[in-house]
Structure formats: C-alpha cells, structure tokens
Structure 1
C-alpha cells in the first residue's frame, strides 16, 4: 500500500464526518507523510497502522470532542455522537471476539438505558393518569357523598400537579443519562482499542 491508496482508504472510512473535519484530518496525515518524505512512506504506514485503525480513533475522538465542546447537549447531538462511536468500533481492526464483546456491550448498555428511560416515563405517565382518574372519580361521586368526592378531587389535583412538576426534572435526568452513556461508550472504546494496540 502506498501513500495515495492509504489516504484514499482513510477518506472512505471517514466519509461520515462533517466535510471540514474530514479535510482537516486528511490534511494532518498528508502533512505527516510530507514530513517523513517519499522514501519513508512504508515506515509511516507501519507506524500509523491500518486506515481502519486511524479512522476509528478519529471518529471516536471527534464524537467525544463534539460532546465536550458543545454548550447545548441536545438528544440529536448525543445520538450523532453515539452513531459515530458505533461506526468507530465497527471500523476498528479488532479481533472477532473483541469486536463481538464491544458490540454486545453497546447493545446491553443501550438496552439498559432505554429500559430505564421507558420505566421513568411510564412511572410519570402512570402518576399523571392516576391523578386524572382520582379527579374524575371525585366528580362522579360528588352528588352522592361530597366529602369523599372532595377528598378524591384533592388527591387527584395533587397527584396530577406532582407529575407535571416532576416532568422537567425527569427530562433533564434523561438527557444527562444519554450524554453520560455516550461519553462512557467512547471511553470504553478508547480503552478497548488501546489495550488491543498495546497487545500487538
């Protein structure tokens, strides 16, 4: 493999990056080859490792840097970062058992996070529905026994209000959980690839 084919393969592996980041990464490696000189191309390729390995590091680094530098931690941004980390893991030249372990970790980690989010959402929704049900029950028995009706309506209003008050805190908690999950996956990926590189 020569310099041109190495950089071409690297460009193909990095096509998911924003154009500016892609060009900056390629410019860096072109300069690296330039500094080494034409006679040392094979030595540079040997030092850098395969284009897949370099691309996986760049994708993971970009995902983490993008998360750390942005002031607005949106769900879309988190999912983009997660997607880049998954691409980095899939493009990394890991052994089959290590790749299977990394994918299994991502899937199980994702399943736990999604389950947690659904459980919290279902809890808040059930509190809200329970409050509405108590309020409606109070209205139905208002003509039969008004003290009990007032009790039901009061409990219904309190529970409904509590669920409405909890919603912003739950939404913030879910966003932070997703962000932390993405950062943890990125660090885990770096640890796996560094361990693998050290073992070669």
Structure 2
C-alpha cells in the first residue's frame, strides 16, 4: 500500500471526528511514514510496517471522548442546502422536545440506577453501625441479665454477618452498573461512529 492510499483510507475511517482531529491524525502518521522512509525503507515497506488503517482508526475513535463525537454528529455541515436549514428550523418544535424528553428519560434512569447502588451501601453502613452498637452494648446488657446480654451478642453477630453479605452484594451491584454503563457508552459511541461514516458515504 502506498502512503497516499494509506492516509486516504485512514482519513475515510475517521469521518466521525472533527476535521481538525482528522488532519492531526493524518499528519501524525504521514510523519511516521516519512521518518521510516528516511531511515532507509521504501514507501511500501514503511507503510506495511504500520498497523492497518482500520485498526488505527478504531483505536483513535475508541479513545475519543463521546462528547466530541456527539458535537461532530450534530454539527451542521457546510454542504447543507437551504432546504435542510428550513426543515431543521420548521421541525424544531417537534424534534427539540423529543430530544429533551429522551435526555430526561435517560438521565432519570441513570439517577434511579445509581440511587439503588446508594441504597445498598446505606444498608451496609446501617448494618455495620448496628453491629458496632450491639457489640458495645453487650457488656452492659450482661450486667442486666444473661439473656439480655446473649440477645445483644446474637444481634451483633447477625448484623455483622448481614453487613458483610450486603457489602459483597453492593460491590457486585456496583460492578454490574459500571459494566452496563460502559457497554451502553460503547454502543452509543459505535452508533455515532457508524452514523458519521454513513453520512460521509452519502455525501
């Protein structure tokens, strides 16, 4: 593969990025190829020694913050015609409330999910506090009667065991939520990347 073909393919796979970022990446790999040629390699060998444009572009896109992809996705293109602008303006009363509603629903679900995690850890804290209080009260309750002391000691062990169980359950739930959030983020990013490529192909 020649240098120009390599850079053209790389540029074509980065269409989900802002133009400035595309140019920066292309310039970076162009310089790498030039350096390898200066070291004595011919152009084809210098290019073949690199990863494929698909692999490089995939890594760049995955490392790009999703906010950058979203901004580029919704940014009006310079090639948009007058009718496109008119449709956007006229459709504003429809698409903007829908967009805000979708954002509100997504945010609400996110808050609810993390509220569940917070509740789990609140239970852990409450059980731990109850266990400490029960252990601290046990000597005093033994002075009031053996049965009361044993009851307090049993309650302390029960709360301590429940606290440990709840802690591991809370940690598992937290990991699950973090994993699900990461997967959703990757899916959204993938859709934005594919959407950017589709728009470029249509143009």
* TM-score between both structures, scaled by the size of structure 1: 0.50
Q: What is the count of residue pairs matched by the alignment?
A: 141
**Aligned residue number for residue 153 of structure 1:** 153
* Cα-Cα RMSD: 4.3
**Aligned residue number for residue 143 of structure 1:** 143
Structure 1 unaligned regions, length at least 5: 15-21, 29-56, 64-80
- Structure number with greater CO (CA < 8 Å, separation at least 6) is 2
**Aligned residue number for residue 43 of structure 2:** none
CA contact (8 A) 1:106 1:185 kept: no
CA contact (8 A) 1:130 1:159 kept: yes
**Aligned residue number for residue 49 of structure 1:** none
Larger Rg: 2
Please state how far the C-alpha of 1:118 moved relative to its aligned partner. 0.8
Please state how far the C-alpha of 1:149 moved relative to its aligned partner. 1.0
Please state how far the C-alpha of 1:140 moved relative to its aligned partner. 2.2
Please state how far the C-alpha of 1:154 moved relative to its aligned partner. 1.8
Please state how far the C-alpha of 1:58 moved relative to its aligned partner. 7.0
CA contact (8 A) 1:89 1:102 kept: no
Tell me the alpha carbon deviations over residues 56-101 of structure 1, each in whole angstroms, 9 at most, x when there is no partner: x9799516xxxxxxxxxxxxxxxxx9xx334433442177626535
* TM-score between both structures, scaled by the size of structure 2: 0.50
Deviates more, 1:123-132 or 1:99-108: 99-108
**Aligned residue number for residue 40 of structure 1:** none
Structure 2 unaligned regions, length at least 5: 1-10, 31-56, 76-87, 89-94
State the alpha-carbon separation in 1 of the partners of residues 69 and 163 from structure 2.
Answer: 40
